[in-house]
Amino acid sequence: MSDFPKDFLWGAATSSHQTEGNNINNDWWDAEQKGRVGYKSGLACRHYEFYKEDFNLARQLGHNAHRFSVEWSRIQTKEDYFNIEEIGHYLDVVKTLKGQGLEPVVTLHHFTNPLWFAELGGWENKKSSAYFSSYVEKIVSHLCPYVRYWVTVNEPLIYVYHAYLIGTWPPHQKSIYKAKKVTRNLALAHLKAYALIKKIYAEKGLGPVHISIAKNMRYFVPASRNPFHYLTSSLKDYFFNWRLLNYLSRHKSLDFIGVNYYTAEFIPENNMKFKNIRRNNLGWPIYPDGLLCLLLRLKRYNLPVFILENGISTNDDRERWDFISAHLKILSRALRQGTDIIGYIHWSLIDNFEWDKGFAPRFGLIEVDYGNYRRSLRESARKFAEVCNAGDLKE
Ligand code: BGC
């Protein structure tokens, strides 16, 4: 018996601002020009021009799915203006994916906002979810014949943390009050988008359509017997991993649970017990077992789980394969233990712009040479391809 179901979705992800290049109408671009985020995305990977070549590589690598994000600031360049050519671009993107046998998994918001929206107060504005809905309505009505999986908002809490709590991402705020308000508005944006997408598909007689968010989940490990560490770890676990999911699930607005898993957090950080733990080159502990615990706990929602991101920043490609194979083993164990998992999407298809860390972190299955934008397949990509093709870990 093979490790993974026959119709399992295998693929890799990208996001618009990190790969496309020249996203000149969003808040990140603006912050980059003003020197507020350390690096400039510039042409990024020129994926906006080279998406066909990139999808061709994905298909050669045995993928049958691909996750990408639509850049809101390209679609709605002003509050009252939708750019039909840019809608045409993403229409071509989904048609190309379909033509290559890749199931499109489309993210509607991946950290960047149109500048006009940011200038109106962004996600602090009480009309923010209504603005988002107008964009969602427009793009979904065009792409719906080709798309079955939508991700409304990527990692709402990671966005809130960086943009409204520690202030490293635009709009560089440090306010618990604003963070709470923005979290509420993002949740509302999801609820409205969920209902809207269902309505559009119903009206057009299309479906079924599967909608979720991409929830970054982290495994919190109390690293000592100290009750204070236990308490801190369970509070972090509740507020970071479960609170928003519980809320969205209570409102019946999730058709599956989209999970992004990278790392674990030890409490306290500096506990000697974990001094030998391997880390990626950004310092994040590598902890596949944490994914198993989270997957088993996700069974409580009675919804399929879709891994929408999992990956490692490293300059040593053998480490990348170790990371991938360790996490895939965990998935096959979780499947055996009754978690319904429908797919695994790796982060990322190609090296890309890692936000305030620039281009140095390498997360790609495919290497990008930023001198000439040439792509080269990494060995880990070929090994992953064997698993995608066989649906089996062969070990
Ligand atoms: C984000 C990606 C990012 C990746 C690696 C995720 O939190 O969705 O945009 O590149 O992590 O940091």
So what's the pLDDT on residue 321? 98
Closest atom of ligand 1 to 354 CA is 10
Residue 227 CA to ligand 1 centre (angstroms): 32
* pLDDT interval class at 1 (50, 70, 90): low
Protein residue whose Cα sits closest to atom 12 of ligand 1 = 354
| Contact 158 CB / ligand 1 (< 6 Å) | yes
Tokens of 60: 């050669």
Residue-wise pLDDT tens digits, 205-223: 999 999 999 999 999 998 8
Residue 284 CA to ligand 1 centre (angstroms): 13
- Residue in 309, 314, 365, 368 to alter for ligand 1 test, most ligand atoms within 8 A of Cβ: 309
Tokens of 285: 């502990």
The model's pTM: 0.98
Q: Residue 302: CA atoms inside 13 Å, Cβ hemisphere, count? A: 3
If 0-12 CB within 10 Å is exposed, 13-18 middle and 19+ buried, where does residue 35 land?
Answer: exposed
- Give yes or no for residue 200 having a pLDDT over 90: yes
Closest atom of ligand 1 to 111 CA is 9
| Contact 30 CB / ligand 1 (< 6 Å) | no
From residue 351, alpha-carbon distances to 181, 347, 374 in Å are 33, 9, 11
So what's the pLDDT on residue 271? 77
| Contact 154 CB / ligand 1 (< 6 Å) | yes
- Give yes or no for residue 9 having a pLDDT over 70: yes
Closest atom of ligand 1 to 352 CA is 10
Tokens of 263: 């790392």
- Give yes or no for residue 272 having a pLDDT over 90: no
Residue-wise pLDDT tens digits, 59-111: 999 999 999 999 999 999 999 999 999 999 999 999 999 999 999 999 999 99
Residue-wise pLDDT tens digits, 371-383: 999 999 999 999 9
Percent of the chain scoring above 70 in pLDDT: 99
CA Rg value for the chain: 20
- Residue in 47, 347, 351, 353 to alter for ligand 1 test, most ligand atoms within 8 A of Cβ: 347
Residue 228 CA to ligand 1 centre (angstroms): 30
| Contact 155 CB / ligand 1 (< 6 Å) | yes
From residue 43, alpha-carbon distances to 51, 324, 355 in Å are 14, 29, 14
Show the beta-strand stretches assigned E in the chain.
9-13, 65-69, 76-78, 81-82, 103-109, 149-154, 210-222, 257-267, 305-309, 341-347, 366-368, 375-377
Residue-wise pLDDT tens digits, 233-253: 999 999 999 999 999 999 999
Tokens of 348: 């990322």
Place of tokens 């709402």: 156
Protein residue whose Cα sits closest to atom 10 of ligand 1 = 354
Beta bridge partners of 346: 12
* pLDDT interval class at 270 (50, 70, 90): confident
Calculate helix-pair angle for 243-250, 176-203, nearest 10 degrees. 30
Written as one letter, the residue type at 312 is I
Q: Share the mean pLDDT of the chain.
A: 97
- Residue 322: CB atoms within 10 Å: 17
Compute the distance between CA of residue 296 and CA of residue 74 in angstroms, rounded to an integer: 39
- Residue 237: CB atoms within 10 Å: 21
| Contact 112 CB / ligand 1 (< 6 Å) | no
Average pLDDT over residues 16-22: 99
- Give yes or no for residue 274 having a pLDDT over 90: no
- Give yes or no for residue 395 having a pLDDT over 70: no
* pLDDT interval class at 330 (50, 70, 90): very high
Average pLDDT over residues 163-187: 98
